[in-house]
Amino acid sequence: MSELWYKNAVFYEVYVRAFFDSNGDGHGDLKGLMQKLDYLKDLGVDCIWLLPIYPSPLRDDGYDIADYYSILPTYGALEDFCELLDAVHARGMRLITDLVLNHTSDQHPWFQSARSSRQSPYRDYYVWSDTDQKYRETRIIFLDTEKSNWTWDEVAGQYYWHRFYSSQPDLNYDNPAVQEEMRNVMRFWLDLGVDGFRADAVPYLFEREGTNCENLPETHEYLKSLRRFMDEHYPGRILLCEANQWPEDVLPYFGDGDEFHMGFHFPVMPRIFKALREGRADSLVDILKRTPEIPENCQWCTFLRNHDELTLEMVSEEDRQWMWREYAPHPRMRLNLGIRRRLAPLLDNDRRKISLAYSLLFTLPGSPIIYYGDEIGMGDNIWLEDRNGVRTPMQWTNAPNGGFSSASPEKLYAPVIDDPQFSPERVNVTDQLNDPQSLLNVLRRMIATRKAQSVLGKGKLQWAQIPTPLPSLVAFHRVDEIESILALHNLSAQSQPVSVSVLPQTTVLHDLLTGENFTPADGMISLILQPYDYRWLKEIR
Ligand code: NOJ
């Protein structure tokens, strides 16, 4: 069973640079993160996901890797990483790292050699062409910066292919040597003891003319081979898939339970925001109904926000415009096909809405992941470039620099949030730890409750019967062979009387968050939900 640990785990996404600066140079580092592990443990985190920590020119904040086998010097050294891993494991937590398969930095020695000569043994590590007219059906992802997926390289005298920034040339997976190289990268980190990988941008590994170059059979075949390799040598470690796709297109990434252990559920996320703003459940319900069953040993990974823009790739054009109007009224809030804002500002810093969003995250199918800082309701800074506005220093205390670093403020890698509503004087970990009603403490209780109810990790979703439908009510059971929980969410700003059927033989409903008990009558439970209220009702038989 313990090999399925990820099915009932709570994940936490750490941006090392932003988390805690141990040496006063203005950048967070691995030693700094190590000092904060008890905080994460107390929050209830089971598994930490680290954004890329490798040497990089940082044109895409580390997703442009120049060396897969060491650590960015400002973050520390490999010894620090090993120490961190030991400290994580000593606390009974796990740690996964980012595995960037699709591309390297243009500063990687492979690319430097490849561009220098057609005879280079590395030339064929990348995708070259004499024209920029190949693979024309492929979309551009970083729309605001890139005009084409091909860039002319003066030194090489050819175009090279890239799905992201032009400083991130795509690797050529048709070359068996590339396939082998990346397996070696995995082996290296697995041998150090990491518990798995969040695999970046996996739909784009192969290119084929006449396709959109996404989700190709060759890609699945290679990914399956990585999984076989892990199962054989490193059982219990996981692969988490980043494929920003529709649920039916993510499904193949689970294979027959022999490809990815987990996959992010991208489309559910914007719909949580839409549902909250509209006070209507339908778009959320629709996408969950459209979400196929996945193999028993697999799990969705759900999130509200992450280090990227709130992506609107998986919504209709109409909904995208609507989301932009509602959630990104200022042009600076928009980036590519998304919104560069954090959770709390998006939800009007309204504690009821933020808690409700988290309640959905913790009760819907999937293992939840929390983005650093969103557990205390940190703000953002839309005036910073790219996605940096949602990557500002973690706010630990109300001291200068939010207690993140002892450096002088101008030496920080990014300014601390100074919007009075979200500045460290108003939003910080220490104050929230001391306040039993703080967002942080509400979340800690939710997490502890969720983890004690394995049905929330492994149970199936069953829609509740509501005799008089109420558009603003999200009501579902999570059910396994032995237990069930009825989860109710009121998306509306009004209090609502609700009546919902309970599952057969339920004698009492026990509210897991408040301790209240309710007795159903004629197989129904009737109660009043306050504005943005949520209930986790265990159905006792
Ligand atoms: C997805 C990552 O989340 C994002 O931050 C990055 O820019 C792209 N992949 C390219 O690696």
Which tens digit of pLDDT belongs to each residue from 436-463?
999 999 999 999 999 999 999 999 999 9
Q: Check pocket membership of 165 for ligand 1, CB cut-off 6 A.
A: no
As given in the structure block, the two tokens for residue 447 are 């997490």
Element (DSSP H or E) covering residue 43: helix 37-43
Pocket test for ligand 1, best of 64, 200, 301 (most atoms within 8 A of CB): 200
Q: Check pocket membership of 60 for ligand 1, CB cut-off 6 A.
A: yes
| Chain CA centroid to CA 463, Å | 26
Per-residue pLDDT at 339 exceeds 60: yes
Helices assigned H by DSSP within 122-267: 176-192, 217-233, 247-254
Residue 2's pLDDT band, with cuts at 50, 70 and 90, is confident
The residues annotated as belonging to the active site are 200, 242
Reduced to 3 states (helix: H, G, I; strand: E, B; else coil), residue 334 is strand
As given in the structure block, the two tokens for residue 125 are 């590590």
The ligand 1 atom at the shortest distance from the C-alpha of residue 64 is: 11
Residue 368 Cα, ligand 1 centroid: separation in angstroms? 19
Residue 246 Cα, ligand 1 centroid: separation in angstroms? 18
Among 399, 403, 400, 381, residue whose Cα is nearest residue 391: 381
**CA-closest residue to ligand 1 atom 3:** 308
**CA-closest residue to ligand 1 atom 11:** 63
Calpha distance 269→274 (Å, rounded): 9
Q: What number is the average pLDDT over the span 140-144? A: 95
DSSP state of 126: B
Q: Check pocket membership of 201 for ligand 1, CB cut-off 6 A.
A: yes
Residue 266 Cα, ligand 1 centroid: separation in angstroms? 14
E strands in 168-219: 196-200
Of all residues in the chain, the percent with pLDDT exceeding 90 is 99
The ligand 1 atom at the shortest distance from the C-alpha of residue 60 is: 7
Q: What number is the average pLDDT over the span 308-337? A: 98
Per-residue pLDDT at 391 exceeds 60: yes
pLDDT of residue 1: 54
Q: Check pocket membership of 240 for ligand 1, CB cut-off 6 A.
A: no
Among 324, 330, 326, 372, residue whose Cα is nearest residue 353: 326
Pocket test for ligand 1, best of 68, 105, 164 (most atoms within 8 A of CB): 164
CA angle 304, 305, 306 (to 5 degrees): 140
The ligand 1 atom at the shortest distance from the C-alpha of residue 308 is: 5
Q: What number is the average pLDDT over the span 454-480? A: 97
* Look-up of token digits 């220098």: 116
Calpha distance 136→78 (Å, rounded): 42
- The 3-class secondary structure across 240-270, one letter per residue, is EECCCCCHHHHHHHHCCCCCCCEEECCCHHH
8 A C-beta contact, residue 275 and residue 491:
yes
Residue 194's pLDDT band, with cuts at 50, 70 and 90, is very high
Calpha distance 474→271 (Å, rounded): 12
**DSSP-assigned letters across all residues of 463-478:** EPP-SS--TTEEEEEE
Residue 488 Cα, ligand 1 centroid: separation in angstroms? 35
Q: Check pocket membership of 308 for ligand 1, CB cut-off 6 A.
A: yes
pLDDT tens digits, residue range 78-125? 999 999 999 999 999 999 999 999 999 999 999 999 999 999 999 999
Per-residue pLDDT at 6 exceeds 70: yes
Residue 226 Cα, ligand 1 centroid: separation in angstroms? 20
Calpha distance 191→296 (Å, rounded): 28
pLDDT tens digits, residue range 35-68? 999 999 999 999 999 999 999 999 999 999 999 9
Q: What number is the average pLDDT over the span 129-150? A: 97
pLDDT of residue 512: 98
Question: Which residues, 6+ apart, have CB-to-CB distance to 464 below 8 Å?
Answer: 475, 476, 477, 486, 488, 500, 501
pLDDT of residue 398: 98
Calpha distance 507→497 (Å, rounded): 21
Q: What number is the average pLDDT over the span 357-367? A: 98
Reduced to 3 states (helix: H, G, I; strand: E, B; else coil), residue 100 is strand
Residue 324 Cα, ligand 1 centroid: separation in angstroms? 21
Q: Check pocket membership of 200 for ligand 1, CB cut-off 6 A.
A: yes
Q: What number is the average pLDDT over the span 365-381? A: 98
Task: Tell me the pLDDT of the chain averaged across its residues.
Answer: 98
pLDDT of residue 399: 97
Among 365, 355, 395, residue whose Cα is nearest residue 378: 395
Residue 295's pLDDT band, with cuts at 50, 70 and 90, is very high
DSSP state of 330: S
Among 290, 232, 223, 233, residue whose Cα is nearest residue 262: 223
β-strand partners of 197: 97, 239
